[in-house]
Amino acid sequence: MSQGACGLDLKGATSPWRTLIQVKAHNRACIDAAGPTNKTWITFARSNLLKLIAENLTIDRGGRRVFQDLTFSLSGGAALVVTGANGIGKSSLLRTLAGLVPLAAGALTLEGGDADRLLHEQAHYFGHQDAVKPALSVLENLRFWKSFTEPARQEIFPGKPLAPLDALDTLGIGHTSHLPAGYLSAGQKRRLSLSRLLVTPRPLWLMDEPTSALDVASEQQLLGLMNAHLGAGGLIVTATHTDLALENITSLHLRTATPTEPAPEEMLS
């Protein structure tokens, strides 16, 4: 198993291990990273599996260093589940992958992806905000997102797009299509936001607390959609405080290090 000087490479990880990165002001934080679970890895017929590669990522927000020199890789058909305390940097990582927060240093690559598009143009970001315009109808909202986002090319990611009404029906809110989106409940708005992922297939799903505001039935449906996306060779990076019943999970736990922990070179020796 290989690792960067102050980061981590999840490729081939088979047992829990840790390393150090710098985070938040001048504090240090360490990452506990466990390799894939004991579940069987899916074999895909496609010859060019996708792979997300993050190299030496450094992120600053509000004049503070969130983390530094974070390195990992994630292959198609796998989910990276990021956990940790509030404020540790989970959302910042997702927003950086989504192109919403600029990198202070480092590089992001989707190997096997579209060389003519940036990473965030091949991803969907399902964040805390629902990205819903309340004055537009439910169907108008989804039609806007379908026209605004371009799907991945079929030879790169063979996702099948749903028509807007079919996506709404799939998520159980087809009967609300004519209503102003502002009339929806919190859970219905969450499902409307999720429907964006179904009308425009993209290989990388970035999901921040994806089960938030969903009832039990909707949560189970979401997990089914996420597993189907993985089964098609897609990738998921998700931040959560709850256990998610996903196939092929790699976990990344962020936590603040104590001052007494050894230096990075000691932990990597």
CB of 137 closer than 8 Å to CB of 177 = yes
Q: Which residue has the higher pLDDT, 72 or 262?
A: 72
Instruction: Judge whether 7 lies within some domain.
Output: no
Instruction: Judge whether 197 lies within some domain.
Output: yes
Tell me whether strands 79-84 and 235-239 are parallel, antiparallel or unpaired: parallel
CATH number at residue 107: 3.40.50.300
Q: Which residue has the higher pLDDT, 67 or 126?
A: 126
pTM exceeds 0.95 for this model: no
Q: Which residue has the higher pLDDT, 38 or 232?
A: 232
Instruction: Judge whether 12 lies within some domain.
Output: no
> Which pLDDT score, from 0 to 100, does residue 63 have?
86
Instruction: Judge whether 156 lies within some domain.
Output: yes
Per-residue pLDDT at 266 exceeds 60: no
Q: Which residue has the higher pLDDT, 93 or 9?
A: 93
**Residue 165 belongs to what domain range?**
17-267
Instruction: Judge whether 1 lies within some domain.
Output: no
Total domain count, the chain: 1
Is residue 46 very low, low, confident or very high in pLDDT (cuts 50, 70, 90)? very low
CA-to-CA separations, 170 to 129, 166, 209, in angstroms, rounded: 21, 6, 21
d(CA 192, CA 43): 32
Instruction: Judge whether 130 lies within some domain.
Output: yes
> Which pLDDT score, from 0 to 100, does residue 174 have?
96
Q: Which residue has the higher pLDDT, 240 or 269?
A: 240
Q: What are phi and psi of 196, to 5 degrees?
A: -60, -35
> Which pLDDT score, from 0 to 100, does residue 258 have?
53
Sequential DSSP letters for the chain = ----SSS---TT--S-EEEEEE-STT-EEEEEEE---SSPPPP-S-SS--EEEEEEEEEEETTEEEEEEEEEEEETT-EEEEEESTTSSHHHHHHHHTTSS--SEEEEEEETS-TTS-GGGGEEEE-SS----TTSBHHHHHHHHHHHSPPPPTTT--PPPPPHHHHHHHTT-GGGTTSBGGGS-HHHHHHHHHHHHHHS--SEEEEESTTTT--HHHHHHHHHHHHHHHHTT-EEEEE-SS----SSEEEEEEEEPPTTSPPHHHH--
d(CA 208, CA 123): 13
Q: Which candidate, 43, 88, 93, places its Cα nearest to that of 71?
A: 93
Instruction: Judge whether 61 lies within some domain.
Output: yes
Per-residue pLDDT at 16 exceeds 70: no
Instruction: Judge whether 33 lies within some domain.
Output: yes
Per-residue pLDDT at 66 exceeds 70: yes
> Which pLDDT score, from 0 to 100, does residue 162 have?
94
> Between vectors from CA 83 to CA 250 and to CA 243, what angle results, nearest 5°?
75
pLDDT (mean) for 26-32 = 31
> Which pLDDT score, from 0 to 100, does residue 139 have?
97
> Which pLDDT score, from 0 to 100, does residue 257 have?
52
Q: What percent of the chain has pLDDT over 90?
A: 58
Tell me which of 20-34, 66-80, 82-96, 236-250 is least confident: 20-34
> Which pLDDT score, from 0 to 100, does residue 69 have?
87
> Which pLDDT score, from 0 to 100, does residue 88 have?
85
